[in-house]
């Protein structure tokens, strides 16, 4: 199987991982406890493999296309948070549920967004240039978004003693990936290593989802009543992102391929970036991690629709002459 084929059918890997993890966690509870311990190192490996595919040294080059960059950043960091806040008003007053939705919907994707943009006949080059800026901005702005949009004192929920492992799992792979990028660039033959690391994210994310499911059978069972809410909010978010992409592309006078790229940027979210924070929450907040995984699965099914709808109907190729 090619890497493109692996990524095209990744949703089925993740869905299988969820089902298998729930079965293992229900039949062998001790396996769930082991999974809870293993998820952190596997998640760190996943983040490192993914960050090596993000061209962190291309940040200066990304500023050369000011129009697309401005439209994408305004959409993701100004307008999308407004959409998320509006959707949140329609959900039950459950702090853990709302926190999970805030965590996952406020951060634009920096990994499979590029893959889907390419598969959806978008501009993979601009998608690649956008990702490092998007990654740095979301890490800086997420605390402010949570503070502005939530009535809960998350300073208490995210106690420093609980959050530092999540920060370590996130920042250590990011730093190693930045060093690796410099190392790869020194010799052309080393780029083969980076290309091989590009195969890792899908299987590693499958393992992470399996371990999370196995370790959270109880919370997942308790969260069955919120499953329709998560599905409805995630679906409404995907639909809103399509409408927003069309409006922004028209206002910004973006070419067709850039409009498609924008649609995938607004619709995809960075679920595994915030998963460490959801997993670090204290007892009573486990549903937040379940919500993050649920949303990612809904999103992946939504991307199947995006791949058909965006290039054919939302941003069709203009007729020549």
Domains and CATH numbers, the chain: 3-314 (1.20.1530.20)
What b/e sequence results for 138-167 when a residue is b if at least 16 CB atoms lie within 10 Å of its CB, and e otherwise?
A: bbebbeebbeebbeeebeebbeeeeeeebe
Sign for the pseudo-dihedral over CA of 160, 162, 164, 166: negative
Band of pLDDT at residue 153, cut at 50, 70 and 90? low
Residue-averaged pLDDT of the chain: 85
Least confident of 170-174, 192-196, 234-238, 292-296: 170-174
| Interval 24-48 mean pLDDT | 80
Band of pLDDT at residue 59, cut at 50, 70 and 90? low
Residues facing 108 on adjacent strands:
269
Whether the pLDDT of residue 62 is over 70: the answer is: no
Residues 72/130, Cβ–Cβ less than 8 Å: yes
Query: Model pTM?
Result: 0.80
Could you say which DSSP state residue 269 is in? B
Whether the pLDDT of residue 33 is over 90: the answer is: no
Selection from 266, 238, 243, 271 nearest residue 71 by Cα? 266
Q: Provide φ and ψ at 269, rounded to 5°.
A: -125, 160
- For the chain, the first-to-last Cα distance in angstroms comes to 40
| Interval 184-199 mean pLDDT | 88
pLDDT at residue number 160: 56
Spatial distance between the Cα atoms of 142 and 173, rounded to a whole number of angstroms: 19
pLDDT at residue number 152: 59
Which one is predicted more confidently, 166 or 140?
140
Structure tokens that stand for 71 in this block: 């439209």
| Interval 284-296 mean pLDDT | 87
């Amino acid at each position: 199987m090619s890497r493109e084929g692996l990524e095209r059918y990744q949703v089925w890997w993740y869905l299988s991982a969820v089902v298998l993890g729930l079965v293992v966690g229900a039949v062998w509870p001790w396996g769930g406890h082991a999974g809870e311990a293993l998820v952190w190192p596997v998640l760190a490996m996943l983040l490192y493999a993914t960050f090596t595919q993000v061209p962190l040294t291309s940040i200066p080059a990304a500023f050369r296309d000011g129009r697309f960059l401005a439209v994408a950043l305004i959409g993701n960091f100004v307008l999308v948070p407004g959409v998320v806040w509006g959707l949140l008003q329609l959900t039950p007053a459950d702090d853990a549920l709302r926190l999970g939705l805030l965590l996952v919907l406020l951060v634009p994707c920096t990994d499979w967004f590029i893959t889907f943009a390419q598969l959806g006949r978008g501009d993979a080059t601009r998608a690649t240039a956008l990702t490092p800026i998007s990654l740095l901005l979301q890490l800086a702005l997420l605390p402010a978004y949570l503070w502005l949009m939530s009535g809960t004192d998350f300073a208490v929920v995210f106690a420093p003693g609980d959050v530092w492992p999540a920060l370590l799992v996130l920042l250590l792979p990011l730093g190693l990936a930045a060093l690796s990028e410099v190392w790869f660039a020194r010799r052309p033959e080393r780029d083969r290593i980076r290309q091989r690391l590009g195969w890792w994210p899908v299987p590693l994310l499958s393992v992470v989802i399996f371990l999370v499911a196995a370790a959270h059978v109880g919370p997942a069972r308790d969260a069955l009543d919120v499953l329709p809410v998560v599905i409805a909010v995630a679906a409404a978010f995907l639909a809103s992102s399509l409408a927003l992409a069309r409006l922004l592309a028209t206002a910004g006078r973006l070419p067709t391929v850039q409009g498609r790229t924008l649609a995938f940027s607004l619709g995809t979210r960075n679920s595994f970036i915030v998963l460490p924070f959801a997993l670090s929450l204290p007892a009573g907040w486990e549903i937040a991690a379940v919500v993050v995984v649920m949303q990612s699965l809904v999103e992946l099914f939504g991307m199947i629709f995006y791949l058909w709808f965006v290039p054919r109907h939302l941003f069709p190729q203009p007729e020549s002459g």
